[in-house]
Structure 1
Amino acid sequence: MSGSPSDPAAVLALRDQFGDRKPPDITRKITACVACRKQKIKCHMRDGEPPCTRCKKRGLSCTVNKSLQMILESDASWKHLMTRKIQVLESALGKVANHLSLGELLEDEMDQEDDVAEQTQAPTPHRAHSQISPQAEKHTPLNFEVVMDPDSGPAAIPGSVVSPIAIPGNETNRAEQDIITRGVITVDQAQQYLDIYQNRLDHFLYRIIGDRRDLTQVRQASPLLLAAICAVGALHLATADFEKCYQEFVSIAASQTFSRRNNVDDVRGLCVAAFWLSGISWTCVSAAVRIATELQLHRSIFKALNGDKTHYQRTRLYYLVFVCDHHFSVAYGRPPMTRQDDAIRAALQFLETEHAVEDDARLCSQVQFWSIGSEIYSTFGIDVERPLDASMIEPLRRFSISLDRVRADWTQRFRQNEYVGDYPRKGVGLHYHFAKLYLFSMAFRGIGRPGFKSPDVALDIDEIANSAVLSATAILRAVVQDTEIQSFLNGLPTYFDLMIAFAVVFVLKVSTKYATSVRVDTSEIRSLVSDVVTVLKDVTSNMHPRHLLVSVAKGAESLLERCHPQEIQGPVPSNAHVTMSQPTFDDSLFNISSEWNGASFDNFFMGEFDFLSNQDAMNNYQPDLNYNSMQNM
């Protein structure tokens, strides 16, 4: 603090330190500036303060050297003043901490001072986005006590008798994580993203956040939910805010990983992110399943059936977690974390409760579809090298009939939706064909292996394989021919993008690599995929470059060019086809396992549909497709 008067107490303390309180006898005071002293001319200063007349006139730097004693006394005065200010600040913070019941906060921080000093001496790795990351909760080992719930019987859950002892002041203020409060986006921007989410996106997923809420209610409910909605809204509006909203969501989610006070709105936020932010979908859904289980959402069905509205809302959220989990168990080729339990089996009874609405019917149709999908996964397992045998044909046909029944039960039940048009009905058809493709593509398990298409199942496998091709082409034709479905693509969750990509890869691979039974018109397949690429390029032209469908469009175009190079295409008869079953081809003609979009992918099958697992970590969002670990056809 140059120019400030010296503090007498600090100066005397400094002199005492050297054993002499007498002021130094300076016989020759420095009164000329450095520039004038070099020229050995008189230096004229007004009031003894630089700049001098000569330096000011010539625009020179004008400084006056001080004696060592003057420098030391000035430094001592500054340190004394800073010490007093810090003491005043600590006193004020102590009063605030006491008011907020955080009395031990300052003491805890002081105890850690030595550790921090040691850490700063060692090199520390760079942490991306450390400037915007919310303060993580402070966690300490818990103490526990044994308790007895007077309302529960002897058959209670064993873990319910042990309860952690709460530690006051051990949780941070969740309001500090609010991305508006933190200045990441403005209130107007947040309102814009909430509007696009509530007026459109939320209706594709049966209203994850439930009844309509204003921005204040969302902010109060969960900073995680707010960040997820803003990130998803910015993605679909293709604004520059997406990156920072995305990083904020990741930071908040990471800071709450070990939180002991997550709520149902945090689960909603994780579901929103899982459905639309492909790079972190599996991480988010696994966290959502864990927290939903900790909150006992699966047990709310019993009170929901008795008319309790709070438990009705908790049950429908559990159904959303179930559907989300199964969406990505398919996409990642991993067993679902949720299972058939009382809540899932009571889905149709849930629709008869007084609070149920049409969105709940759509949600329950998904629960039924994925309940069958879970049984398919459990029945056929994950051994893709094992060909289908006679014992598997009958269960497969029964699953197919079950899917037909679900489609018949729900297709005519739904009507136009004011927010998403005829999606409720058309969505049932798309999910039906997705599920059928998943089921029927098992006909290609073990192809080329001993025992594939054994005589006792050869005709059955031919029929099932042809059905798989029909389901795949039905998906692609819906994308090409239905303009309303095209209008849905910038809004539908990631699962739809993945299934469209899978259908493209499936028909191209079947029409170019395998032979003898599956009769495919190669000209028609090439034309169909070409039309799909054209539609996807048009739809994605105005999308955010981070949207997964942008990568799907580019990848499909690249793969089509490699499967059917334009330069070698000649006239193709209208009835051209390839018949495929046993591989009798030259692998060098078309190596599907080489790189596409910079990422290698092997032979594939839905059960190991691994589009996303090798993407960058949570703080480096890269939604490019990765087809590693796909199963053999």
Structure 2
Amino acid sequence: MDDSGPPCKRCAERNLSCVLNKSLQTLIEERSQWKTTVTTDLDHIHAALQEVLGRLSLPPLPPLQTTGGADYVPSPHDDGLEREDPGPSCDNSPRVSPRDDALPHVPIESLYQITRLRALRSDDTPDESQPTSTRTPNHPISDFISQGLVSIEDAERLVNFYLNRIDHFMYMVGSGRYRDLESLRRSSPILTAVICTVAALHDPNSNHLYGICSREFRRQMGAAMFDRRIDRDHIRAMCIGSYWLHDVSWTLSGYAIRRATEVNLSGMFQRALENNEEAMDCMRIWYTLYICDHHLSILYGRPSIVREDAAISGWEELMTRSVFTESDKRLVSQMALLIIMSNVRELFGPDTGEPVPRAFAPQLTNYSRQIDQWMGYWTTELMKLHQFIGEFPTKGVILHHHLAKLHLHSHVFRGLKGAPVPTYFQDSAIAAVAAATSIVEMLLTDFDIREALVGIPHYIHSMIAFACVFLLKIAAQHSGQYIEDARVLDMSNKVVQQFRSTAVGKWHLVHLMADGLEKMTLSKIKSPPVFHNPPVSNGMDQTGMQYVNEPSTTMSSMANGNGTGIFNGGMIANPFEEDLNLSTTPFLHFDSGNYDFNFSGF
């Protein structure tokens, strides 16, 4: 008789081995083992999810209610159930390419043809990445708003604020075809999340919402990192993040450019010339990525990714097409300036700590003239009053003119370590100080520029910070030579007050910049100057705005920052980008002497 358990009554009477008992016992043992395996697997999954949520700064999961496997410790020799890795996916019906019978032009095509690995397929087109709504009009929406993390009222307020104010500073590229919260939520959860994030960053009444929206956007970005296909709105969301979110802009910009090249976004240029609206939308996104990429390249002193392809250099052809709008005109004006600045960057290269060669002097004059010509053209093209942002488009041209001049001419301070500027670069040194002064005075005197602090990209905020730091370092190292120290300190204090009075969220750059700039200004007040150079006869008036040896007196008068120029009241501002770790910018790399300018606010 089997000793695994008591036999049933019939088997006991006949002294037989009990098969039924053995079957039941085996079944009980198998079910017990299955339960232990399942609960152990759940424990592992739960622990892994907790780790992922912790890295994403999201709330943890509640404890597991199952406890059967809580005390189970797997043996290193216990392999459990065999699990087979499915491996990379292949196309059972590989996509037919018109080049299948021709010699391959791209090596990856050959590898795809012989392996059919789906991840290697790179012939997607922008048409196939168009946003498509996966929810019917009556289908319930499941997102961070429906989950109660943000109320529907707050979400409506944030989206309306973005659509009516913020998006105009990105030429309405961010909103695309969407004009309300409902259409956004049904079509693109990630676009909804980033729009709410940017709006909460700018809204002083939404500080409690910024962290929630930001975490949701980052969560969705992380979840889609390895998605084989993403739609156009996903790339649009990354454009928005790169344009305004200074802490993640570099990462988002590079990733978005990679994903945009996968679908050959710039390849839609010819179709845009045929007045195809969908193709024009692709070009707007591509141009925005170009702007973000080159803004970041200026701010960080690093090489840009996007080069001047046919779509970039052919922007003038698009201006004659019916699909080209007034917002598109502002978009390509930025791109036209950045093409000039890209050439400047190629000329000077990375900062090696060496002074700029004297042979570069003619090139400085040439690029300075190009920037003047750019301003003369676009101030005429963008004279129309904007419905939502007033005169900012025209004034923004003047502001960007000063930003470009500062970036160009400040190179002459490279490698000097506080020593006097060579005589052959004196005109450029004067022009750099005049441009920085004009930037600050525009911010302090022009209403449209002050209003634009709420909405402009973080590139402009960063460049304003650079102008302020540049002037303070000029006062420290070249005291009284290019501008009076007292004037620099007075402007710096006024800028701090202006930053603090700007109604934005507490995590916005202008508030973070105020404390650091105030500390830097106090350091200058308490410290003696490094050099006492005799003042240079630079031809500037008391405002320090007049450029010398410029090719056009008309441009000089237009750039005059003393309120007597064509706009009577100072210059304007435009979008800024990137982090305030300004020590990484190449044009700040001239020695700060005995002063410690590396405050935590910067």
**Residues 17 and 565 (structure 1), Cα distance of their counterparts in 2 relative to 1, 3 Å cut:** farther
The answer for the alignment partner of 2:408 in structure 1 is 439
Q: Is the 8 A contact 1:330 1:607 kept in 2?
A: no
Matched, 1:543 2:491: no
Taking structure 1 as the reference length, the TM-score comes to: 0.67
1:413, CA displacement in angstroms? 1.4
Q: Is the 8 A contact 2:344 2:367 kept in 1?
A: yes
Structure 1 segment 411-490 matched on structure 2, within 5 A: 411-414=379-382, 415-448=384-417, 458-490=422-454
In 1: Cα distance, 2:60 partner to 2:182 partner: 22
1:468, CA displacement in angstroms? 0.4
Return the letter of the residue paired with 1:226: T
1:184, CA displacement in angstroms? 2.2
Q: Is the 8 A contact 2:340 2:371 kept in 1?
A: yes
CA RMSD of aligned residues (A): 3.9
Select which of 220, 234, 238 maps to 1:266: 234
Return the letter of the residue paired with 2:434: L
1:221, CA displacement in angstroms? 2.9
**Residues 288 and 478 (structure 1), Cα distance of their counterparts in 2 relative to 1, 3 Å cut:** same
Return the letter of the residue paired with 2:516: G
Matched, 1:150 2:98: yes
Return the letter of the residue paired with 1:524: R
1:213, CA displacement in angstroms? 2.4
1:480, CA displacement in angstroms? 0.7
1:420, CA displacement in angstroms? 0.8
SS in 2 for 1:248: helix
Return the letter of the residue paired with 1:459: T
Matched, 1:286 2:254: yes
Select which of 564, 581, 590 maps to 2:525: 564
Q: Is the 8 A contact 2:242 2:250 kept in 1?
A: yes
The percent of aligned pairs where both chains have the same amino acid is: 28
The answer for the alignment partner of 1:235 in structure 2 is 201
Select which of 202, 205, 228 maps to 2:170: 205
Q: Is the 8 A contact 1:331 1:606 kept in 2?
A: no
The answer for the alignment partner of 1:68 in structure 2 is none
The answer for the alignment partner of 1:196 in structure 2 is 161
1:314, CA displacement in angstroms? 0.4
In 2: Cα distance, 1:140 partner to 1:580 partner: 72
Select which of 385, 394, 407 maps to 2:353: 385
1:265, CA displacement in angstroms? 0.5
Q: Is the 8 A contact 1:276 1:494 kept in 2?
A: yes
Q: Is the 8 A contact 2:444 2:495 kept in 1?
A: yes
Larger C-alpha radius of gyration, 1 or 2?
1
SS in 1 for 2:405: helix
1:235, CA displacement in angstroms? 1.6
Return the letter of the residue paired with 1:546: W
In 1: Cα distance, 2:263 partner to 2:43 partner: 40
Select which of 88, 107, 113 maps to 1:141: 88
The answer for the alignment partner of 1:531 in structure 2 is 494
Q: Is the 8 A contact 2:500 2:510 kept in 1?
A: no
Return the letter of the residue paired with 2:478: Y
**Residues 604 and 155 (structure 1), Cα distance of their counterparts in 2 relative to 1, 3 Å cut:** closer
The answer for the alignment partner of 2:150 in structure 1 is 185
In 2: Cα distance, 1:252 partner to 1:112 partner: 29
In 2: Cα distance, 1:459 partner to 1:362 partner: 38
The answer for the alignment partner of 2:322 in structure 1 is 354
SS in 1 for 2:159: helix
1:182, CA displacement in angstroms? 3.6
**Residues 260 and 557 (structure 1), Cα distance of their counterparts in 2 relative to 1, 3 Å cut:** same
The answer for the alignment partner of 1:129 in structure 2 is 57
Q: Is the 8 A contact 2:418 2:477 kept in 1?
A: no
Encode CA deviations 1:343-398: one digit per residue, 9 max, x unaligned: 11001111111100110110000011111111111111013412122321122221
Matched, 1:502 2:470: no
Taking structure 2 as the reference length, the TM-score comes to: 0.71
1:181, CA displacement in angstroms? 3.5
1:140, CA displacement in angstroms? 5.8
**Residues 465 and 443 (structure 1), Cα distance of their counterparts in 2 relative to 1, 3 Å cut:** same
**Residues 379 and 194 (structure 1), Cα distance of their counterparts in 2 relative to 1, 3 Å cut:** same
The answer for the alignment partner of 1:334 in structure 2 is 302
1:505, CA displacement in angstroms? 0.4
Any gaps of 5 or more consecutive residues in structure 1? 1-15, 23-79, 88-109, 168-172, 570-575, 582-598, 610-623, 628-633
**Residues 116 and 608 (structure 1), Cα distance of their counterparts in 2 relative to 1, 3 Å cut:** farther
**Residues 249 and 603 (structure 1), Cα distance of their counterparts in 2 relative to 1, 3 Å cut:** closer
**Residues 226 and 563 (structure 1), Cα distance of their counterparts in 2 relative to 1, 3 Å cut:** same
**Residues 258 and 217 (structure 1), Cα distance of their counterparts in 2 relative to 1, 3 Å cut:** same
Return the letter of the residue paired with 1:225: L
1:215, CA displacement in angstroms? 2.0
In 2: Cα distance, 1:600 partner to 1:365 partner: 28
Larger RCO (CA under 8 A, 6+ residues apart): 2
In 2: Cα distance, 1:294 partner to 1:448 partner: 45
Return the letter of the residue paired with 1:308: N
**Residues 118 and 320 (structure 1), Cα distance of their counterparts in 2 relative to 1, 3 Å cut:** closer
1:204, CA displacement in angstroms? 0.7
Structure 1 segment 33-182 matched on structure 2, within 5 A: 126-131=54-59, 141-143=88-90, 148-150=96-98, 157-160=106-109, 162=112, 164-165=117-118, 178-182=143-147
In 1: Cα distance, 2:187 partner to 2:49 partner: 40
In 2: Cα distance, 1:164 partner to 1:141 partner: 7
Q: Is the 8 A contact 1:441 1:605 kept in 2?
A: no
In 2: Cα distance, 1:119 partner to 1:211 partner: 40
Structure 1 segment 213-228 matched on structure 2, within 5 A: 213-228=179-194
In 1: Cα distance, 2:263 partner to 2:415 partner: 43
Matched, 1:297 2:265: yes
The answer for the alignment partner of 1:315 in structure 2 is 283
The answer for the alignment partner of 1:606 in structure 2 is 587
In 2: Cα distance, 1:366 partner to 1:461 partner: 28
1:261, CA displacement in angstroms? 1.4
In 1: Cα distance, 2:109 partner to 2:322 partner: 31
